[in-house]
Chains A and B, each alone.
Chain A
């Protein structure tokens, strides 16, 4: 038996179907382009022109004919409302759409229609008037199997078409296209005028009637009329006041030479009504956007270059095929894709948010089977760039975070996704690093400096220096210190329970210190405090320096730099301004990156993308470091370390304030994962000793084990996320229990141990000074004898 996580669980834990639908609606990528929306019969102009540009006129014609029953006729006389809204028209002349439709008709060929068994719908329908609107109803309904009779007062089908200019619309074109009506087995009564008495008779003889006789002849019918005396119909269904009688075409408009494409559209829509009426289903249900409407698609055309209209060599014939191809290439192929263009992550998975939210929903609804979207959900940096860019502000980060929470609740979160990051957080909030102290000799604090876990890991020397500078700058204030992790990784991992417990601890600690104002150099901590601890007063270190001045001894330089704003500062313009003013004061010239401030990008640390999808994270960092030539300056330790790790010269702003932007600091690689732990632990120990005169006790036996690790092995450990402490634990366990293997060829020992959710294997040899490490690897599966 498998656990049942059906709809109910889903409803309780995450979004319901209504919410999914709303999210899907927010993504406008699938909205029809303006040309198609404005077209009364919604020709898929964009696809048709794509085929034209490729030179496949038969494919173009197939697309055209799908929307248009009489393609030869309409491609000559359409009044092309599409052209008025063509986005090319905002730059220069719109695309010659009708001319390209005619080119498709001229140069394309339709495959012979396969003889398919005609559906046999029961019912007979009379069509009064053989103009293009009536012919459309006859065409559509005959193809559904209804028995159709057309009553035409003239001696030939075509109605108003015969009034068009013959040079433009020759008789053989009209007759050629109309031939299909006879082929469909429609009965045609020519020279038959239907007056009102006949109409009533026909109503008794037929199941439904469509009137499309033009404005003049329609005067005979005793049907409800509008204030202009025209026959009144329901604007959606085209039903008249007489039951089962529908009307459309020029008679609704009072115009003899009515827009042919509108007449076709009205015939088509009336046909849908008649079909539904005869099927005895709702005539009105879900009938949106059947006629022309305004497109909801957004397309940025600011980068579209000019491409002038292609002139025809022979205007009477229309475009030659090679001319048509060139004209087809003028189509912009309107689409939105704004977020996908901006976000490496959204691009990586090959689709766009409308599809993504559906996949997420499906992923969370799976009871049994493979959850293909797990990696997608966990790869997002949650940086919010998509929401900023999206014309509808759809935030995939928020969707992904919610999905992660649902996965955790469903007990379906892959352990490998965030485990390492959560354990790093756990380390920071253990005795090894966690501490809170009022300044020596005080029992409360006015300010508390909270450097966060990564600045402490990356540049512990800066933390000590800032703390003493704060005290120097505000000699009359009591300034405390608090070390630990704010809890952001728990939030990113979709663990509200864990996150909330960490926040509660901070709340309590701050209360004990009598609610000091928290000074924050890390913008991720800032975001957490601002959003989740709204009662706590906070100030970013950069705003603090901007307000109170730079620390004494800050040194200036003359150099051009580009600023990488951390993604967590996206909407912190105050902080971004402070950084720019600080750099100005230090004498730096700023060359802004093309994407900065509210459009800045994530360095790949956010949302733990780097853990869930290292390959993608690499692409994200590489892309960002290639966006500017100048050296970068940032104000997040992880951004700095990520960039320098890939060879981009980058300073943390504290490197500039304290060290004048030395070459050494621009190129110093960040510490590895083990060193990050060690740096944090050492920082706490040092501060406690130096400032508070305290010593730390309670170290574990394994911590004293000395290891000797060659650089190539160390690099392997880093890539495999294996820490020094993991290796120390394995050796301590193996040596204590004597449970180890011996390789008789090499003489090396191999031991394994599972101190957490991972089993670590270490190949080693005791040496005089400790242990030499030759290799280490790990897996998550449990095997017997791992000491767990």
Chain B
């Protein structure tokens, strides 16, 4: 049970998260990113390293555009 999709469940819907395209938006720009998501209620999962790594990088790029 080490693959992320095996680890993470939507607590309310009680189903495992599945990879899917999710729209992420910042400063009027939106782009699809593949994330784990609850197939039913669409709750998503953003891991810590993504939030503090790539996302900060992209945020800065968009802020300076």
Q: Contact at A784–B42, with CB atoms within 8 Å? A: yes
- A783 to B45: give the CA distance in the assembly, Å: 9
Known A779-B51, A781-B59; judge A744-B46 contact (CB<8 A).
Answer: no
Cβ 8 A contact of B23, one of A741, A775, A784: A784
**Chain A nearest CB: distance from B23 CB in Å?**
7
Q: Contact at A781–B44, with CB atoms within 8 Å? A: no
Decide if A47 is an interface residue (CB 8 Å cutoff): no
Q: Which of A714-765 contact B (CB under 8 A)?
A: 738-745, 749-750, 752, 761
Q: Contact at A741–B51, with CB atoms within 8 Å? A: no
Which residues of the other chain, A, contact B10 by a CB distance below 8 angstroms?
Answer: 741-742
Q: Contact at B41–A781, with CB atoms within 8 Å? A: no
**Chain B nearest CB: distance from A163 CB in Å?**
66
Cβ 8 A contact of A781, one of B1, B26, B42, B52: B26
- A372 to B17: give the CA distance in the assembly, Å: 39
Query: What 16 additional pairs, Cβ within 8 angstroms, besides A745-B7, A781-B25, A783-B44?
Result: A414-B64, A416-B59, A738-B11, A740-B11, A740-B43, A741-B11, A741-B17, A742-B8, A743-B7, A744-B1, A761-B46, A779-B56, A780-B26, A780-B59, A784-B44, A785-B44
Decide if A668 is an interface residue (CB 8 Å cutoff): no
**Chain A nearest CB: distance from B64 CB in Å?**
5
Decide if A16 is an interface residue (CB 8 Å cutoff): no
- A782 to B11: give the CA distance in the assembly, Å: 22
**Chain A nearest CB: distance from B21 CB in Å?**
11
- A110 to B24: give the CA distance in the assembly, Å: 61
Which residues of the other chain, A, contact B1 by a CB distance below 8 angstroms?
Answer: 744-745
- Kindly list the 3 A-B residue pairs having the minimum CB-CB distance in the complex, ordered from nearest: A414-B63, A742-B11, A738-B12
Decide if A777 is an interface residue (CB 8 Å cutoff): yes
Q: Contact at A778–B51, with CB atoms within 8 Å? A: yes
Known A414-B63, A743-B7; judge A783-B24 contact (CB<8 A).
Answer: yes
Contact digits for B6-42, partner A, Cβ 8 Å, 1 yes 0 no: 1111111000010000111111000000010000011
Which residues of the other chain, B, contact A704 by a CB distance below 8 angstroms?
Answer: none
Q: Contact at B64–A416, with CB atoms within 8 Å? A: no
- A750 to B11: give the CA distance in the assembly, Å: 10
What interface size band does chain A fall in?
20 to 34
Known A371-B65, A777-B48, A784-B42; judge A741-B9 contact (CB<8 A).
Answer: yes
**Chain B nearest CB: distance from A480 CB in Å?**
43
**Sampled A-B contacts (16; CB under 8 Å):** A414-B63, A415-B27, A416-B63, A739-B12, A740-B43, A742-B8, A777-B48, A779-B51, A780-B26, A781-B25, A781-B58, A783-B24, A783-B44, A784-B23, A785-B43, A785-B44
Known A374-B63, A761-B46, A761-B48; judge A782-B8 contact (CB<8 A).
Answer: no
- A594 to B12: give the CA distance in the assembly, Å: 63
Which residues of the other chain, A, contact B63 by a CB distance below 8 angstroms?
Answer: 374, 414-416
Contact digits for A87-115, partner B, Cβ 8 Å, 1 yes 0 no: 00000000000000000000000000000
Q: Contact at B11–A783, with CB atoms within 8 Å? A: no
Q: Contact at A739–B51, with CB atoms within 8 Å? A: no
Q: Which one of B26, B27, B51, B60 has the greatest number of beta carbons of chain A within 10 Å?
A: B51
Which residues of the other chain, B, contact A371 by a CB distance below 8 angstroms?
Answer: 64-65
Residue of B nearest to A781 (CB): B26
Which residues of the other chain, B, contact A370 by a CB distance below 8 angstroms?
Answer: 61, 64-65
Q: Contact at B64–A741, with CB atoms within 8 Å? A: no
Contact digits for A373-397, partner B, Cβ 8 Å, 1 yes 0 no: 0100000000000000000000000
Residue of A nearest to B63 (CB): A414
Cβ 8 A contact of B43, one of A416, A741, A745, A781: A741
Q: How many A-B residue pairs have CB under 8 A?
A: 89
Which residues of the other chain, A, contact B58 by a CB distance below 8 angstroms?
Answer: 781
Residue of B nearest to A373 (CB): B64
Which residues of the other chain, A, contact B22 by a CB distance below 8 angstroms?
Answer: 783-784
Which residues of the other chain, B, contact A369 by a CB distance below 8 angstroms?
Answer: 65
Which residues of the other chain, A, contact B35 by a CB distance below 8 angstroms?
Answer: 783
- A743 to B17: give the CA distance in the assembly, Å: 11
**Chain A nearest CB: distance from B28 CB in Å?**
10
Which residues of the other chain, A, contact B56 by a CB distance below 8 angstroms?
Answer: 779
**Chain A nearest CB: distance from B55 CB in Å?**
5
- A777 to B52: give the CA distance in the assembly, Å: 8
Q: Is the interface of B mostly helix, strand, loop or mixed?
A: mixed
Which residues of the other chain, B, contact A775 by a CB distance below 8 angstroms?
Answer: 48
- A784 to B42: give the CA distance in the assembly, Å: 8
Which residues of the other chain, A, contact B48 by a CB distance below 8 angstroms?
Answer: 761, 775, 777
Which residues of the other chain, B, contact A374 by a CB distance below 8 angstroms?
Answer: 63-64
**Chain A nearest CB: distance from B15 CB in Å?**
11
Residue of B nearest to A750 (CB): B45
- A371 to B62: give the CA distance in the assembly, Å: 10
- A738 to B41: give the CA distance in the assembly, Å: 11
- A623 to B56: give the CA distance in the assembly, Å: 29
**Chain B nearest CB: distance from A357 CB in Å?**
19
**Chain A nearest CB: distance from B49 CB in Å?**
9
**Chain A nearest CB: distance from B46 CB in Å?**
6
Residue of A nearest to B24 (CB): A781
Q: Contact at B55–A781, with CB atoms within 8 Å? A: yes
- A745 to B8: give the CA distance in the assembly, Å: 8
Which residues of the other chain, B, contact A785 by a CB distance below 8 angstroms?
Answer: 41-44
Which residues of the other chain, B, contact A779 by a CB distance below 8 angstroms?
Answer: 46, 51-52, 55-56, 59
Which residues of the other chain, A, contact B25 by a CB distance below 8 angstroms?
Answer: 781-782
- A370 to B62: give the CA distance in the assembly, Å: 9
**Chain B nearest CB: distance from A494 CB in Å?**
15
Which residues of the other chain, A, contact B8 by a CB distance below 8 angstroms?
Answer: 741-744, 750
Q: Which of A561-597 contact B (CB under 8 A)?
A: none
Q: Which one of B6, B23, B43, B61 has the greatest number of beta carbons of chain A within 10 Å?
A: B43
- A374 to B7: give the CA distance in the assembly, Å: 41
Which residues of the other chain, B, contact A781 by a CB distance below 8 angstroms?
Answer: 24-26, 55, 58-59
Residue of B nearest to A414 (CB): B63
- A750 to B44: give the CA distance in the assembly, Å: 11
- A750 to B12: give the CA distance in the assembly, Å: 12
Residue of B nearest to A782 (CB): B25
**Chain B nearest CB: distance from A780 CB in Å?**
5
Q: Contact at B12–A740, with CB atoms within 8 Å? A: yes
- A655 to B10: give the CA distance in the assembly, Å: 53
- A752 to B35: give the CA distance in the assembly, Å: 15
Q: Contact at A777–B43, with CB atoms within 8 Å? A: no
**Chain B nearest CB: distance from A243 CB in Å?**
57
Which residues of the other chain, A, contact B60 by a CB distance below 8 angstroms?
Answer: 414, 416
- A458 to B61: give the CA distance in the assembly, Å: 36
- A260 to B10: give the CA distance in the assembly, Å: 90
Residue of B nearest to A2 (CB): B65
Which residues of the other chain, B, contact A743 by a CB distance below 8 angstroms?
Answer: 7-8
- A372 to B1: give the CA distance in the assembly, Å: 45
Q: Which one of B35, B56, B63 has the greatest number of beta carbons of chain A within 10 Å?
A: B63
Q: Contact at A752–B11, with CB atoms within 8 Å? A: no
Residue of A nearest to B31 (CB): A781
- A745 to B6: give the CA distance in the assembly, Å: 9
Which residues of the other chain, A, contact B42 by a CB distance below 8 angstroms?
Answer: 784-785
Residue of B nearest to A760 (CB): B51
**Chain A nearest CB: distance from B30 CB in Å?**
9
Which residues of the other chain, B, contact A780 by a CB distance below 8 angstroms?
Answer: 26, 55, 59
Which residues of the other chain, A, contact B59 by a CB distance below 8 angstroms?
Answer: 416, 779-781
**Chain B nearest CB: distance from A362 CB in Å?**
13
- A372 to B7: give the CA distance in the assembly, Å: 41
Residue of B nearest to A746 (CB): B7
- A745 to B63: give the CA distance in the assembly, Å: 37
Q: Contact at B43–A782, with CB atoms within 8 Å? A: no
- A785 to B13: give the CA distance in the assembly, Å: 14
Which residues of the other chain, B, contact A749 by a CB distance below 8 angstroms?
Answer: 11
**Chain A nearest CB: distance from B65 CB in Å?**
6
